[in-house]
C-alpha cells in the first residue's frame, strides 16, 4: 500500500521528459523501466527509497524495437531533447552490440545514470521559509550528466572525433576505477576526487569528470540543489598565487565561488582586504624552529619582504640590465653568423633570437619545423600561429609577423574614411635569414634550446635566463626606453585582454617602427642593419575615433540645435533636452569617461572650486563604491556653472506652469537626481545612451564610446602616458591616482591634464553655450 508521502515511480519517469517533445515517448519510458530493473555495480535499488512507490508491474525487454531518431534529418534540436537524445544514443549501443570496452562501460553507466536521475528528480524541496525560494530541481544537473555521456559515447562510432584523446582518457579513467571488486559509490567518488586533485591534470580533463562527480555527489547526499547566488549557503574558495619568483611567499585570497573572478580579484586588490600570506620560516632561517626570538625576527623580515614585493613591477624583478642584454644579443648573433647553414646551433640560435625579437613563445617557432607549410621566400599564403591572432606573411620581398589586435572596431560605420585610424593590424619586420632556416635540416627540440640557454647563462653570468623570461626581455627594454607601456605592448603583440589601455590606442605606424628600431639599435647595431622597414603612412589603433573634421561637425550641429530651438521659441522641454544632450557630449569628451547611465553623476560629485570631478563609470552593477578623480579644465567648469544658472532660471520661469519640472530641478540641486536628465515618455529620467539615440539617431552610427576614443587619440604624444592612464583609469593595481601607494602628485596631475584638455577646445573648435532660459 502506498503511503501519503510516496509518489509513483512512473510519475518521476515522465517528469524526466518535462518540456521535451513527445518523440517515441512510450517506447523510451518502457526502455527506462527495463534499465532500472537491471542490477548496477553500485547496487542502487529504487525500491528501497521511502518517497518512491515502485509501481512497475511489467518489464518489456524489447529494446531492439525502440526506434532510433535521426537528428540530422529532423527538425528537432538535441539541446531541446536532452533526455531523449541520451536514451537514443544508449539504445543505438544496445541494439548494435558493439564488442568493445567503451560500449560495455556506456551501458553500465546508463543504468546508473537513469537511476540517479530519477532519484534527483524525486528530491523534494525542504519546507523552509528562509531558503525555499533558493531550492530548485536538479534538472540542469541531469542535463549536464546526460550530455557529457552522450558526447563521450560518440567515441564508439567515431574514434577520431574532436577531443578524442580527452574522451579516451575519460573512459579509461572510469574503467580503471570500476575494475576493482565490490566497489561502492562512495569509493568511486573518492577516486574521482583524487584524479581531479592531481596538479598536473589538464583543466579540460578535470571538467570532463565534474559533471559525473557533482551529479553522483548530489545523489549520495540526497539534498536539493541550491540556486546559484543564494544567501542560504555561501560557498567560498581559496586562490593562491606566488608573490615572488622563488615561490617562498604565497598570497591567499578568499572570495565567494559564485562571484565573478576578475571583478572579485580586482575588488580584493583595490580594497586590500581579506589578504593573507603564507611562507616557510625555515627557508628564511633554520634557527626559527627552536627560537621564539628568531621566529619574531623572521616574521618582521617577511612582512617587509611582502610589502616590497607588492609594489615592485613584475617586469623589473631580476631582469638583465641593458649591458647584459646587449651582450646576449651580440653573442646570439655571432653564433648564428659563424654556424654552418645546416647545423643545429644555427637553427637553435635563430629561434632564440626570434623569440626575443617578437615575444612569440619559442614553442611556436619550434612547431614551424613540423608544420605542413614552412615559411619560404615567395610564399603567397600566410602561416598562422597557434594563438590565431598572429601569422607570418611574405610581402615586399621580406617576412613580417602580422598581429591582429582585439581592439574596438566599428564595422557598421558607413564612412570608414571618416575614422582616424585605418587598421588594427600591425606588421613587425622579421630577419629573413632567421626564417629561412626552417626550410633546412636538422630538426631541433626543446632540449637544444635549454642547452644553449644554459651555455649563455654560464658564459654571460645572467641569472634565471629561462625560455619563459627570454621572450619578455625586449618588452622590458622597450618599456624602459620609451616609458610607454602601450607602445611596448603593441610592438610585442600583447593583446587588449592583458593590456586594457590598448583598447583606446592611436599611433602612426612609422612612429611605432621607429621606437622599435631605436630600442633595438641600443642592443644590437648588426641586427638593425639587416631589418628593413618600408615606411607606410598609416594610423594604427581603435576604429572608433573620427577624424578632426567629423568631431567639429558633430559638436557644431549639437550646439546649433540648442541655439535654434531658443531662437524659434520652441517647446521649453525640447530646449531642456537639447541642452542636456549637448552638455553630455561635452563632458564625455573632456573627462574621457565611459558613456554609462546616470553619467556624470550628482552635482555633489563636482568640486568646481578645485576643478575636480569624482566619477564612477565602470560598466558593472553597483558602481557607487568604485571611482576615480578627474581634473576639470576651466572651460568645463564655466559650462557647468552656466548650466546651473540655466536650471535655476528655468525653474523660476516654467516651474509655476509645470510643478513636476519645479520638483525635478529642485531634486537635481538637492543631489536627489543626477545632474543631466531629459523629459522622455512623460517623465524626467536620467540621461543614458539610449536617450541620446532616441533624440539624435544619427549618432548611433558612431557607437557608444566614440568620445572616449577621440580623447585618447588627441592626448597621445601630447600628455605623459602616466597621466593619460590615470585619467582613463588604466593604471596598475595599487598604483591608481590617490591610492596610498601612488607616487602621482595631485598638483602635477591637475595642472598637466587641465592644460591639455583646455587646448582640446581650440583643436575641435568647440564653442560654449550660455543661455538663461
Span 453-506, pLDDT tens digits: 999 988 988 877 888 888 888 988 898 888 888 899 999 988 777 777 788 889
Please give the full DSSP string across 545-574, using - where no structure is assigned.
PBPHHHHHHHHHHHHHHHHHHHHTT--HHH
Sort strands 7-8 and 52-53 into parallel, antiparallel or unpaired: parallel
* Tally of CB atoms within 10 A around 110: 25
Residue 232: pLDDT above 50? no
pLDDT of residue 230: 43
Residue keyed to cell 582616424: 420
Instruction: Report the candidate in 486, 494, 374 with the shortest Cα–Cα distance to residue 435.
Output: 374
Question: Left (φ > 0), alpha (ψ -120 to 50) or beta: where does 716 sit?
Answer: beta
Could you read off the pLDDT of 584-638 as tens digits, one per residue?
999 999 999 988 888 899 999 999 999 999 988 775 444 455 678 899 999 999 9
Cis link prior to 600 (omega < 30° from 0)? yes
3-state SS, residue 25: helix
Query: How far is 150 from 87, CA to CA, in rounded Å?
Result: 9
Could you read off the pLDDT of 383-440 as tens digits, one per residue?
888 778 889 988 888 888 999 887 767 666 677 788 888 888 888 999 988 988 888 8
User: 156 with 124: CB under 8 angstroms?
Assistant: no
Q: Is 397 exposed, middle or buried (0-12, 13-18, 19+ CB in 10 A)?
A: exposed
Mean pLDDT, range 668-691, rounded to an integer: 90
Mean pLDDT, range 526-547, rounded to an integer: 84
Mean pLDDT, range 563-571, rounded to an integer: 86
**Long-range contacts of range 728-735, CB-CB < 8 Å, 24 or more positions apart?**
728/501, 728/504, 728/592, 729/617, 729/618, 729/628, 730/500, 730/501, 732/313, 733/266, 733/269, 733/270, 734/269, 734/270, 734/272, 734/310, 734/311
Query: How far is 456 from 334, CA to CA, in rounded Å?
Result: 13
Greater confidence, 496 or 307?
A: 496
Cell matching residue 303: 612582512
Give residues with Cβ within 8 angstroms of 271, minimum separation 6. none
DSSP label of 312? S
Instruction: Report the candidate in 547, 532, 249 with the shortest Cα–Cα distance to residue 397.
Output: 532
Instruction: Report the candidate in 19, 704, 700 with the shortest Cα–Cα distance to residue 414.
Output: 700
Greater confidence, 343 or 370?
A: 343
Residue keyed to cell 573620427: 546
Please give the full DSSP string across 43-60, using - where no structure is assigned.
---GGG-TTEE-------
Give residues with Cβ within 8 angstroms of 664, minimum separation 6. 673, 677, 684
Residue 330: pLDDT above 60? yes
- pTM of model > 0.75: no
Mean pLDDT, range 752-757, rounded to an integer: 92
pLDDT of residue 274: 53
Could you read off the pLDDT of 253-263 as tens digits, one per residue?
666 666 665 56
- Residue 339 to residues 343, 348, 412, 436, 453: CA-CA distances in angstroms? 7, 10, 53, 14, 16
User: 756 with 715: CB under 8 angstroms?
Assistant: yes
Could you read off the pLDDT of 88-128 as tens digits, one per residue?
888 888 777 676 778 888 888 988 988 888 888 877 544 33
User: 677 with 686: CB under 8 angstroms?
Assistant: yes
pLDDT of residue 226: 46
Query: How far is 717 from 480, CA to CA, in rounded Å?
Result: 17
Where residue 291 falls among pLDDT bands split at 50, 70, 90?
confident
Where residue 5 falls among pLDDT bands split at 50, 70, 90?
low
Phi then psi for residue 206, to 5 deg, are -60, -40
Residue 657: pLDDT above 90? no
Residue 321: pLDDT above 80? no
Q: What is the mean pLDDT of the chain?
A: 80
Cell matching residue 130: 528562509
Greater confidence, 729 or 580?
A: 580
Residue 560: pLDDT above 80? yes
DSSP label of 126? P
Greater confidence, 549 or 216?
A: 549
Give residues with Cβ within 8 angstroms of 360, minimum separation 6. 354, 385, 390, 401, 471, 493
pLDDT of residue 532: 76
Q: Lowest mean pLDDT of 430-434, 650-654, 747-751, name the range.
A: 747-751
Please give the full DSSP string across 572-626, using - where no structure is assigned.
HHHHHHHHHHHHHHHHHHHHT----TTTT--GGGEETTTTEEEE---SSS-GGG-
Could you read off the pLDDT of 138-191 as tens digits, one per residue?
778 888 888 888 888 888 877 766 667 888 888 888 888 888 877 888 888 888
Query: How far is 540 from 493, CA to CA, in rounded Å?
Result: 13
pLDDT of residue 227: 45
Mean pLDDT, range 575-580, rounded to an integer: 93
Query: How far is 330 from 323, CA to CA, in rounded Å?
Result: 11
Q: Is 167 exposed, middle or buried (0-12, 13-18, 19+ CB in 10 A)?
A: buried
CA Rg value for the chain = 33
User: 160 with 227: CB under 8 angstroms?
Assistant: no
Residue 277: pLDDT above 80? no
Query: How far is 509 from 491, CA to CA, in rounded Å?
Result: 10
Query: How far is 206 from 209, CA to CA, in rounded Å?
Result: 6
Question: What strands lie across the sheet with 398-404, from one edge to the other?
Answer: 383-384, 390-395, 398-404, 425-429
Give residues with Cβ within 8 angstroms of 634, minimum separation 6. 611, 754, 758
pLDDT of residue 561: 92
pLDDT of residue 133: 39
DSSP label of 436? G
Could you read off the pLDDT of 129-149 as tens digits, one per residue?
334 334 445 778 888 888 888
pLDDT of residue 745: 73
pLDDT of residue 731: 73
pLDDT of residue 239: 66
User: 711 with 587: CB under 8 angstroms?
Assistant: no
pLDDT over 90, % of the chain: 21
Q: Lowest mean pLDDT of 25-34, 245-254, 357-366, 572-581, name the range.
A: 245-254
Number of H helices, E strands in the chain: 30, 18
Amino acid at each position: 500500500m502506498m503511503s501519503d508521502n510516496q509518489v509513483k515511480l512512473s510519475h518521476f519517469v515522465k517528469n524526466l521528459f518535462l518540456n521535451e517533445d513527445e518523440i517515441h515517448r512510450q517506447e523510451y519510458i518502457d526502455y527506462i523501466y527495463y534499465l532500472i530493473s537491471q542490477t548496477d555495480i553500485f547496487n542502487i535499488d529504487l525500491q528501497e527509497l521511502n518517497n518512491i512507490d515502485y509501481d512497475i508491474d511489467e518489464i518489456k525487454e524489447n529494446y531492439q524495437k525502440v526506434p532510433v531518431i535521426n537528428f540530422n534529418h529532423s527538425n528537432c534540436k538535441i539541446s531541446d531533447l536532452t533526455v531523449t537524445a541520451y536514451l537514443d544514443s544508449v539504445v543505438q549501443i544496445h541494439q548494435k552490440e558493439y564488442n568493445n570496452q567503451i560500449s560495455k562501460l556506456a551501458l553500465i553507466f546508463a543504468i546508473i545514470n537513469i537511476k540517479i536521475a530519477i532519484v534527483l528528480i524525486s528530491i523534494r524541496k525542504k519546507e523552509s521559509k528562509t531558503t525555499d525560494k533558493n531550492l530548485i530541481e536538479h534538472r540542469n544537473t541531469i542535463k549536464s550528466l546526460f550530455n557529457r555521456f552522450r558526447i563521450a559515447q560518440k567515441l564508439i562510432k567515431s574514434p577520431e572525433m574532436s577531443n578524442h584523446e580527452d574522451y579516451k582518457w575519460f573512459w579509461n579513467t572510469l574503467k580503471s576505477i570500476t575494475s576493482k571488486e565490490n566497489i561502492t559509490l562512495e569509493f568511486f567518488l573518492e577516486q574521482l576526487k583524487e584524479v581531479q586533485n592531481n596538479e598536473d591534470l589538464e583543466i579540460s580533463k578535470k571538467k570532463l569528470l565534474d559533471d559525473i562527480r557533482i551529479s553522483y555527489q548530489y545523489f549520495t547526499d540526497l539534498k536539493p540543489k541550491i540556486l546559484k547566488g543564494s544567501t542560504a549557503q555561501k560557498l567560498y574558495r581559496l586562490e593562491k598565487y606566488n608573490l615572488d619568483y622563488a615561490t617562498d611567499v604565497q598570497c591567499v585570497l578568499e572570495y565567494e565561488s559564485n562571484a565573478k573572478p576578475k571583478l572579485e580579484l580586482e575588488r580584493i586588490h583595490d580594497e586590500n582586504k581579506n589578504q593573507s600570506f603564507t611562507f616557510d620560516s625555515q627557508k628564511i632561517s633554520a634557527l626559527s624552529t627552536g627560537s621564539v626570538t628568531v621566529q619574531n625576527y623572521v616574521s618582521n623580515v617577511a612582512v617587509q619582504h611582502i610589502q616590497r614585493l607588492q609594489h615592485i613591477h613584475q617586469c623589473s624583478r631580476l631582469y638583465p640590465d641593458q649591458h647584459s642584454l646587449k651582450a646576449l644579443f651580440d653573442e646570439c648573433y655571432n653564433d648564428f653568423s659563424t654556424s654552418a647553414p645546416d647545423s643545429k646551433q644555427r637553427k637553435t640560435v635563430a629561434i632564440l633570437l626570434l623569440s626575443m625579437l617578437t615575444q612569440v613563445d619559442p614553442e611556436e617557432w619550434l612547431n614551424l619545423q613540423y608544420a605542413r607549410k614552412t615559411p619560404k621566400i615567395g610564399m603567397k599564403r600566410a602561416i598562422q600561429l597557434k594563438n590565431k591572432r598572429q601569422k607570418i606573411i611574405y610581402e615586399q620581398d621580406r617576412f613580417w609577423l602580422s598581429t591582429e589586435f582585439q581592439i574596438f572596431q566599428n564595422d557598421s560605420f558607413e564612412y570608414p574614411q571618416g575614422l582616424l585610424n585605418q587598421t588594427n593590424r600591425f606588421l613587425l619586420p622579421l630577419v629573413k635569414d632567421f626564417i629561412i632556416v626552417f626550410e633546412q635540416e636538422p630538426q631541433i627540440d626543446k632540449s637544444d634550446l635549454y642547452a644553449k640557454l644554459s651555455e649563455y647563462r654560464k658564459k654571460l653570468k645572467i641569472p634565471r635566463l629561462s625560455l619563459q623570461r627570454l621572450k619578455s626581455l625586449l618588452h622590458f627594454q622597450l618599456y624602459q626606453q620609451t616609458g610607454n607601456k602601450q607602445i611596448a605592448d603593441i610592438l610585442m603583440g600583447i593583446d587588449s585582454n592583458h593590456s586594457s589601455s590598448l583598447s583606446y590606442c592611436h599611433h602612426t605606424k612609422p612612429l611605432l617602427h621607429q621606437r622599435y628600431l631605436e630600442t633595438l639599435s641600443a642592443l644590437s647595431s648588426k641586427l638593425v642593419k639587416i631589418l628593413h622597414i618600408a615606411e607606410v603612412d598609416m594610423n594604427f589603433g581603435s576604429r572608433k575615433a573620427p577624424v578632426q573634421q567629423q568631431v567639429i561637425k558633430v559638436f557644431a550641429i549639437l550646439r546649433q540645435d540648442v541655439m535654434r530651438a531658443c531662437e524659434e521659441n520652441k517647446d521649453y522641454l525640447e530646449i531642456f533636452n537639447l541642452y542636456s544632450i549637448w552638455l553630455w557630449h561635452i563632458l564625455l569628451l573632456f573627462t574621457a569617461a565611459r558613456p554609462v547611465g546616470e553619467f556624470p553623476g550628482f552635482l555633489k560629485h563636482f568640486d568646481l572650486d578645485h576643478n575636480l570631478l569624482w566619477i564612477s563609470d565602470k560598466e558593472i552593477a553597483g558602481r557607487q563604491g568604485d571611482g576615480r578623480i578627474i581634473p576639470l579644465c576651466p572651460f568645463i567648469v564655466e559650462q557647468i556653472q552656466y548650466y546651473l544658472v540655466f536650471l535655476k532660471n528655468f525653474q523660476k520661469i516654467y516651474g509655476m506652469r509645470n510643478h513636476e519640472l519645479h520638483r525635478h530641478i529642485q531634486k537635481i540641486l538637492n543631489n536627489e537626481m543626477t545632474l543631466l536628465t531629459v523629459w522622455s515618455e512623460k517623465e524626467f529620467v536620467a540621461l543614458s545612451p539610449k536617450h541620446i539615440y532616441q533624440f539624435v539617431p544619427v549618432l548611433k552610427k558612431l557607437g557608444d564610446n566614440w568620445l572616449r576614443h577621440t580623447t585618447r587619440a588627441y592626448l597621445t604624444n601630447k600628455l605623459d602616458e602616466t597621466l593619460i592612464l590615470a585619467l582613463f583609469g588604466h593604471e596598475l593595481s595599487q598604483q591608481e591616482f590617490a591610492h596610498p601607494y601612488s607616487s602621482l602628485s595631485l598638483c602635477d596631475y591637475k595642472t598637466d591634464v587641465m592644460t591639455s584638455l583646455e587646448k582640446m577646445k581650440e583643436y575641435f573648435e568647440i564653442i560654449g553655450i550660455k543661455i538663461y532660459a
